[in-house]
């Protein structure tokens, strides 16, 4: 079935582009979509294979137009067959922010990303759904099932005790449009020196700190405390200048930000485990233990989460490490 789909995709690309140069596969991420590179005339373009039974491709196209109208740089959709789930989109290159970090330009790159984040927060469009309480809870359930129950088989009671607090902290913040996966593997430094964002199709109206938590407490890179503190102050200044509803108390905002980061990172760890246990994809196994350590560090800073943090450290970290080692 997979080969049949690849052949159909190649034929569609040939019909659209007029070339038979073939498709060059791009690295697989944590989704059902597959990406390839080809050419359209003299330019490089990206081919997206997004199965319509799992992907809402019409929504992807609508969101692309919405973001671009708001001057948020996301790939332009150049051609599409929504029924088959084939799309031809603008190519932003390969220079992921992940590759630029630690090379002496973090301050500059984060500044560009924060400016984009604030522009995204200024988008208001009815096509963007709300981040509901039920969704927050379900996301923590991913960690509960795939890590605590299926990966290491422990009681979930200590974790269950903090779910309501985590959800409430996320859900009671001012609401803005969020990219929802605003991290270093979905942001690229383009050849013209600007930032581009991909993987934006899951955008929601959610907590004002969410995208900032995604980039500053990234699952794939760890910034220094000083860089995080400076970036929080820069963000708050940009948000105030843009007229966004945020707090004047940096300490209160940082508390909400860190707790939101805990929710997001726990969800991510659950997804990483699910990728291996359900789909036999080991691509994110190496990230599980480092992210869990950072989750515990953040949790110990907030009294409501200290008991759970100690339980995670003493009861789950070693079994998680051992399970990951076995699965590699």
- What is the CATH number for 232? 3.90.1200.10
Residue from 168, 202, 170 nearest 183 by CA: 202
The parent domain of residue 319 ranges over: 97-327
The residue out of 30, 62, 90 marking a domain boundary is 90
The residue out of 90, 106, 133 marking a domain boundary is 90
Residues 141, 267: Cα–Cα separation, whole Å: 8
Residue 71 has pLDDT above 70, yes or no: yes
Q: Are residues 71 and 119 in the same domain?
A: no
Q: Compute how many other C-beta atoms are within 10 angstroms of the C-beta atom of residue 89.
A: 21
Q: Are residues 236 and 121 in the same domain?
A: yes
What are the DSSP E strand ranges found in 18-147? 24-25, 34-40, 43-49, 77-81, 86-90
The residue out of 62, 90, 118 marking a domain boundary is 90
Q: With contact defined as beta carbons under 8 Å apart, do 190 and 73 qualify?
A: yes
Q: With contact defined as beta carbons under 8 Å apart, do 238 and 113 qualify?
A: no
Q: Are residues 126 and 208 in the same domain?
A: yes
Q: Are residues 25 and 149 in the same domain?
A: no
Residue 31 has pLDDT above 90, yes or no: no
HSE (CB half, 13 Å, CA atoms) of 233?
A: 6
Residue 200 has pLDDT above 70, yes or no: yes
Q: What is the mean pLDDT of the chain?
A: 95
Q: Are residues 184 and 249 in the same domain?
A: yes
pLDDT at position 30: 66
Q: Which helix (H) or strand (E) element contains residue 219?
A: none
Q: Are residues 133 and 202 in the same domain?
A: yes
183 alpha-carbon distance from chain centroid: 6
Q: What angle do CA 277, 281, 287 make, to 5 degrees?
A: 90
Q: Are residues 101 and 225 in the same domain?
A: yes
Q: What is the mean pLDDT of residues 223-227?
A: 96
Q: What is the dihedral of CA 253, 205, 237, 302, to 10 degrees?
A: 10
Residue 43: what are its φ and ψ, rounded to 5°? -105, 150
Q: Which residues contact 103 (CB under 8 A, 6 or more apart)?
A: none
Residue 2 has pLDDT above 70, yes or no: no
Q: With contact defined as beta carbons under 8 Å apart, do 164 and 110 qualify?
A: no
Question: How many structural domains comprise the chain?
Answer: 2
Q: Are residues 194 and 262 in the same domain?
A: yes
Q: Are residues 161 and 204 in the same domain?
A: yes
CATH number, domain containing residue 52: 3.30.200.20
Q: What is the mean pLDDT of residues 62-79?
A: 98
Q: What angle do CA 216, 301, 138 make, to 5 degrees?
A: 65
- 253-312 per-position pLDDT tens digit: 999 999 999 999 999 999 999 999 999 999 999 999 999 999 999 999 999 999 999 999
């Amino acid at each position: 079935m997979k080969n049949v789909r690849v052949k159909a995709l190649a034929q569609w690309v040939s019909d659209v582009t007029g070339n038979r140069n073939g498709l060059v596969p791009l690295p697989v991420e944590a989704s059902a979509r597959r990406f390839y590179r080809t050419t359209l005339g003299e330019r490089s373009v990206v081919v997206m294979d997004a199965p319509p039974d799992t992907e809402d491709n019409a929504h992807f196209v609508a969101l692309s137009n919405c973001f671009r109208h708001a001057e948020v740089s996301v790939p332009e959709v150049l051609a599409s067959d929504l029924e088959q789930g084939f799309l031809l989109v603008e190519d932003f290159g390969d220079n992921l922010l992940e590759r630029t970090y630690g090379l002496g330009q973090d301050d500059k790159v984060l500044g560009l990303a924060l400016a984009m984040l604030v522009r995204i927060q200024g988008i208001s469009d009815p096509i963007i759904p709300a981040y509901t309480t039920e969704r927050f809870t379900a996301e923590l359930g991913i960690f509960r099932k795939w890590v605590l129950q299926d990966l290491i088989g422990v009681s979930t009671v200590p974790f269950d005790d903090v779910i309501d607090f985590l959800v409430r902290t996320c859900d009671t913040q001012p609401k803005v449009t969020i990219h929802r996966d605003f991290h270093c593997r979905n942001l690229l430094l383009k050849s013209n020196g600007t930032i581009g964002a991909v993987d934006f199709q899951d955008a929601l109206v959610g907590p004002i700190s969410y995208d900032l938590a995604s980039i500053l407490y990234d699952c794939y890179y760890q910034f220094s405390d000083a860089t995080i503190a400076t970036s929080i102050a820069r963000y708050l200044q940009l948000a105030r200048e843009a007229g966004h509803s945020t707090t004047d108390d940096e300490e209160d905002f940082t508390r909400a930000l860190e707790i939101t980061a805990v929710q997001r990172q726990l969800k991510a760890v659950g997804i990483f485990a699910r990728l291996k246990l359900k789909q036999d994809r080991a691509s994110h196994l190496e990230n599980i233990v480092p992210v869990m350590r950072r989750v515990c560090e953040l949790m110990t800073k907030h009294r409501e989460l200290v008991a759970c943090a100690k339980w995670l450290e003493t009861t789950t970290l070693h079994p998680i490490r051992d399970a990951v080692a076995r699965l590699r």
